[in-house]
Structure 1
Amino acid sequence: MLPPRAQDLVDRYTQRMDQRSPGSLQGLYLVGSLALDDFHDEVSDVDFIAVVDDPDPELLREVHQGLDKLDGQYVTFDDLRTSPAKLSGGYYQLDGRLSLGNEGRSPVEWTTLAKYGVTLRGPRPAELNVHADPDELREWVRGNANTYWRQHLDDPADLAYAVGIAWVVLGISRLHYSMVTGDITSKSGAAKHAVQAFPEHRAIIEEALRHRTTRLGEGGPPDPDRQAAGFAYLQAAITSCC
C-alpha cells in the first residue's frame, strides 16, 4: 500500500499511459524516499523509473500534465542492465518539465532500484539483473561531492536557512554513507549514520533532520551560527568522501 497522495499520482499516471499508449509502459518502479521508507506526504516527491521503448515526448508531456511532484526517468530494460556511465541521455521528468539528458541516470538510482525498488509493473528488480556496482557508486560519490556539493563551500548562503541546511547536510551525509558502505540510504538513515561518523557535528546534523520536512519559505530568518556549523560539517564530510 502506498501513501494516499503517491497512490493517486501513480494511478492517474498509469491510467493515462494505458489509455494514450496501450502496452508501451512495460515496467514501472518507485525509487527515492518511497523505496527507502522515508516518504513524507507533504514534501516528498514520488520518484519513478519507467520502462518505455522509444518514448514519444509529446505524449509524455500530455501524460504528466498536472501530476505535480511525480518525477522520474524513461529507460529500457537494456539500460537497466548497463552501467549508467555508458548510457546516452534519455527523457526525464523533473519539477514539472520533461527534458532530455542524463539526469537521474547514476549508480544511485540503479542501486536503489536493484536493492529497494518498489515494483508496480513488470518483472521484479531481482529478475532484471540491474547493474549495481558498489565501486562505481563510490566513484560517482567522489565526483558528485567534488562538484555539486563543493559549490556550497564556495557560496554557503543557503546554509543559513532551515531548508538549505536540511538539503545540504542530509545530502552530503547520504553520499558519505554510500562511500563507507557501497549502499544507499534515506536522508533520515543518513543522519543516523552521520551522527556516528561525525559526533562532533551532531548538533547541526540533528537540526538538519528536524528541518527534513520544512517547506521553502518556512523555518525563519537566516542564522549565521547555523551557516557556520553547516559549513564546517560539509567541509569535513566532503574531505572524508574524497
Structure 2
Amino acid sequence: MSKTFALPAEVSALTHKYLEAVDSALPGFVELLYVTGSAALGAWQPPHSDIDTVIVTSREITTKDFAVLARIHEGMPKSPKLDGVYLDRRAFDARVADRRAVPFVVDGQFRTDKPCGELTPILWLLLRRYGQAVRGPAVDALGLVDDPEAVRRYNLENLRSFWQPLAEDVRTHVRELAEDAPADPEMMAWMMLGPARLHYTLETGSIVSKAGAATYVCERFPEWAGLAQKAASWREGATVAFVSADAIAAAASIDVIAENAWKNYGA
C-alpha cells in the first residue's frame, strides 16, 4: 500500500485552482491528477518546495491544447509553483519512463519542446509509494508495481552521467575563485542532497525527502555531515552562507557517493 500524508492546505488549494481553470477551458480534458514530490512525502518546505504532479489527460494533447495550457500555467501563482508531467491515458497506462518529449511544467513554465527529465522510473516509484489523488482513484487502485531493476539502472547512470560531470564543472568554475567567495545556497543544497537521495533509493528501495537526505548523509557519509546539515538548515529557512570551499567539498561528496553506489550496486 502507498503511504499517505495529509496534503498541505496551499497544495490542495492550488491544485483545485488549476483544475477549475483547466475544466473551464478544456472540459473533460484532465482525467486524473496526482500530487507527488515533497508534498506527498510529508516534507513540504515553503518557500523552497514546488507542487509536483502527474496529470493524466483523457485524449492525446494537440497543438491547440498546448496554447491553452500555456495560458493556464501562466496564470497560476508564482509561489508555490505548480509543476508536473502531462501524460495521455495510453502513455500513463504504459508507465513510460524514457524521458521522452511530453508536455511538462518545470519552475512554473509550461514546456513542449524538449525531453521531460522527470519522466523516469523514479517518478513511478514515487507515485506508487506516496502519490496523493486530487482527481481520480487512490493510487493503490491503479495497479502500479515497482520495477527495482529499472530504478537501479536509472539511479546509477544518473549519478555517473549527470552528477559527476556536474561536480567537475563546479570544480572548474570555482578554481579561480577565492575560497571564501560566496556560493549560491540553492545550488549547494541541490548538490549536497540530490545524489544522496539516489544513493538512499539504491540502498533501501524507497525514496527520501531532501530533509531526510541530509540525515542520510550524516549517517552514511559522516565526513560531509556538517555541510549536509547546513543545506538542510537553509531549506528550513535559516540564514546560512556558503563559500567556494563548500562548493569544492560538495563536488567531492558527489564523486564519493557516486563511486560508492557503483561499487555496491553496479552491475
Same fold (TM over 0.5): yes
Structure 2 counterpart SS, 1:155: helix
Question: C-alpha root-mean-square deviation of aligned residues, in Å?
Answer: 2.3
- Contact 1:9-1:70 at 8 Å conserved across structures: yes
Deviations along 1:13-54, one digit per CA (max 9) or x if unpaired, are: 010111112222110100001011111122210111111022
What residue in structure 2 maps to residue 140 of structure 1?
A: 154
Deviations along 1:182-230, one digit per CA (max 9) or x if unpaired, are: 2211111122222211122211221221122469xx744x513322321
1-side partners of 2:204 and 2:92: how far apart? 22
Deviations along 1:108-142, one digit per CA (max 9) or x if unpaired, are: 11111111001011122111123531111111001
Q: Are residues 170 and 198 of structure 1, via their aligned partners in 2, closer, same or farther at CA, if it must alter by over 3 Å?
A: same
The correspondence of residues 71-82 of structure 1 with structure 2, limited to 5 A, is 71-82=83-94
- Is 1:149 matched with 2:154? no
- Contact 1:162-1:214 at 8 Å conserved across structures: no
The correspondence of residues 160-179 of structure 1 with structure 2, limited to 5 A, is 160-179=183-202
The size of the alignment, in residue pairs, is: 239
Deviation, structure 1 residue 146? 1.2
Q: Are residues 85 and 29 of structure 1, via their aligned partners in 2, closer, same or farther at CA, if it must alter by over 3 Å?
A: closer
1-side partners of 2:9 and 2:204: how far apart? 33
1-side partners of 2:228 and 2:217: how far apart? 7
- Contact 2:83-2:105 at 8 Å conserved across structures: yes
Deviations along 1:152-207, one digit per CA (max 9) or x if unpaired, are: 22122589432221111111110110111222111111222222111222112212
What residue in structure 2 maps to residue 65 of structure 1?
A: 74
Deviation, structure 1 residue 88? 4.2
- Is 1:37 matched with 2:42? yes
Structure 2 counterpart SS, 1:207: helix
What residue in structure 2 maps to residue 102 of structure 1?
A: 116
Q: What residue ranges of structure 1 are gaps of 5+ in the alignment?
A: none
Q: Are residues 141 and 61 of structure 1, via their aligned partners in 2, closer, same or farther at CA, if it must alter by over 3 Å?
A: same
- Contact 2:100-2:119 at 8 Å conserved across structures: no
1-side partners of 2:149 and 2:101: how far apart? 22
- Contact 1:32-1:46 at 8 Å conserved across structures: yes
- Contact 1:82-1:131 at 8 Å conserved across structures: no
**TM-score, length basis structure 1:** 0.89
2-side partners of 1:211 and 1:195: how far apart? 16
What residue in structure 1 maps to residue 206 of structure 2?
A: 183
The correspondence of residues 16-35 of structure 1 with structure 2, limited to 5 A, is 16-35=21-40
Structure 2 counterpart SS, 1:50: strand
Q: What residue ranges of structure 2 are gaps of 5+ in the alignment?
A: 1-5, 175-181, 263-267
1-side partners of 2:13 and 2:227: how far apart? 35
2-side partners of 1:203 and 1:17: how far apart? 45
- Contact 2:185-2:231 at 8 Å conserved across structures: yes
Tell me which moved more, 154-163 or 7-16. 154-163
2-side partners of 1:71 and 1:129: how far apart? 24
**TM-score, length basis structure 2:** 0.81
Which amino acid in 2 is paired with 1:54? E
What residue in structure 2 maps to residue 200 of structure 1?
A: 223
% of aligned pairs identical? 28
Tell me which moved more, 158-167 or 41-50. 158-167
Q: Are residues 83 and 51 of structure 1, via their aligned partners in 2, closer, same or farther at CA, if it must alter by over 3 Å?
A: closer
2-side partners of 1:208 and 1:87: how far apart? 28
